[in-house]
Amino acid sequence: MNAFVATFRRDVALMWAGGGALAPLGFFLGATMLVPLAMGPDRALLESAGPPLVWIAAALAVLATLERLFQADLEDGSLDQMMLSPAPLEALVLAKGAAMWCVIGLPLALAGAPAAIALQAPPSLVPAIVLSLALGTAAFIGVGLIGAAVTAGVKRGGVLIALIVLPFFAPPIIFGSAVAGGDEVGAALSILAGCALAALALGPIAAAAALRLQAE
Amino acid sequence: MLTYLANPARFMAFSAWAAPLFFGLAVIAFAVGLPWALAFSPADYQQGETVRIMYVHVPAAWWSMGVYAFMGVASFVGLVWRHSLADVAARAAAPIGATFAAVCLITGSLWGAPTWGTWWEWDGRLTSMLALFIIYLGYIALWSAMDDEEKAARLAAILCLVGLINLPIIKFSVDWWSTLHQPASIMRSGGSAIHPSMLGPLLTMAGAYLALFAALLMMNMRAAIFRRRVEAARMRGGEA
C-alpha cells in the first residue's frame, strides 16, 4: 500500500512539475475549437451533432500523453526499482494510471463543461457529460496503459501507440457520445462505468506483463 | 500432432510437403467452388445475382476471425511455454488475417451498395470488423517496430491476447445492435437458415480459404525460419 501511495505521489509530482494538465488541456480546447471551424458555425447543425465531438478531442488529448508514460521510467531505471519493490508491479502500474487520471483525466472532464457548452450542448446535459468524460478518460487510461507498456521500448512510438490503442477506445466513445447526444443517458453512463472498470482491471495486468519483458 | 510439430526441424520436414499439398487443395477447392458459387448456384429470389458476393465475403469474414483466434492460441502458447515456433506462427498468420479482413470489408462494401443502398453504414458488425482490421495493423506494426525479435514476440503476444476481446463483439454485434447487417444464418440455434443449394458452394469456398490460409501460413513460417537460419549463419561467419 505504501508503495502504491508513493508511486502515485511521485507520478503526480512529476506530471505536475512537467506542466501538469496544462498541455493536454490546451490540446483538448484547441481540438474542440477546430470542430465548429470544420463543421461550420451553423447553430442548428452544431446543436444536433456538436457535443459528441468533445469525445474525439478528449481521446486525442489522452493519446498524446501516453507515449512518455513508461518510457521515462524505462530509461532512467525507475522501472527496475519498481520491479525490485515487494509490491506487485500491477499495483504500481495502477498507481501510475490513477495519478494520470487525477492530473490529466479529471481536469479534462471538467474542461468538458465549457467545451460542450461551446459546442451547443443543452446546459441540463452538461453535468452528465462531465461525469461521462471522467469515466471515459479512466477507460482510455486503462487501455492506454497497455499500449504505452508494449511500446515503451520503441523510439518515437507515438503513432504506433495510437494505432494500437484506438480500436480499444471505441466502446467508451460509443457510449460517451450517447451521453453527449442525450439519448438513454443513465444506461450509457452505467455501461461507461463498466468499460472503465474493465479497462482498469485488465490494463494494469497486461501492462505489467509487458513491462517485465521490457526491462529484461 | 501439434506437440510433434513443435520441433522446428520436424516442422520444416513436414511443411516441405504439406505447404504444396495445402496449396494444391486450395487450388482444387477454388476450381470447384468459384464456378459453383459464381455460375451454377441459384440466384437469390430477392437479391438476384448479387448474392454471389456472399461466397467471397462470408468465408473471408469467418477466416479473418478464425485466423485471429489461431493467433490468440499461438500467442498464448508462445507466452506461456516460450515456444519460438508459436511466435513464428502468430507473426506469419497476421498479414494473412489482415488480408482476409480487408477482403471482407471491401466485398461487403461492394455488396452493400446494390442491396442496402449504401457503401458503408456505421453498424455494429461493420464497425467491429473495421476494428479487427485496425488491430491486425497495430499487431503487425508492433512487430516491425522492435529490433529484438524475442521481446517483440512476447509483447505482440500480449497485444494479441488483449485484442481477442473483439472477437465475441464481432460475433454478437448483430444480435446486440440489430441495425443493418443481418444476423447469423449458418451457425444458429434452430439449425441453419440457408438453403442447401447455397450452403454447398459456401462451405466449399470456406474450405478453399482455409486451405489457402494453411498453405500461406506454412510458406510464411518457412521463410521466417530460413531467414533466422541465414542470420544465425551470418553471425557465426562474422565472428570467425
Mean pLDDT of chain A: 86
Asked if residues B218 and B14 have their Cβ atoms less than 8 Å apart, the reply is: no
pLDDT band at B74 (very low <50, low <70, confident <90, very high): very high
| Contact between A153 and B151 using a beta-carbon 8 Å cutoff | yes
Whether pLDDT at B73 is above 90: yes
Residue A124: which domain range?
A: 2-215
| Contact between B141 and A153 using a beta-carbon 8 Å cutoff | no
Q: What is the pLDDT of residue A94?
A: 93
Split into its structural domains, chain A has a count of 1
Q: Does B142 touch chain A (CB under 8 A)?
A: yes
Q: Would the ipTM clear 0.95, i.e. be above it?
A: no
Write down the pTM of the prediction.
0.83
A164, A170, A214 ranked by CB distance to B138: nearest: A164
Distance CA B140, CA B163 (A): 13
Neighbours of A190 (CB within 10 A): 13
State pLDDT tens for residues A13-55: 888 887 777 888 888 888 888 888 888 777 888 877 778 888 8
| Contact between A213 and B159 using a beta-carbon 8 Å cutoff | no
Angle between helices B8-35 and B84-115 (to 10 degrees): 10
Share of chain B above pLDDT 70, in %: 87
Give kind and range of the element (H or E) at residue A78. helix A78-84
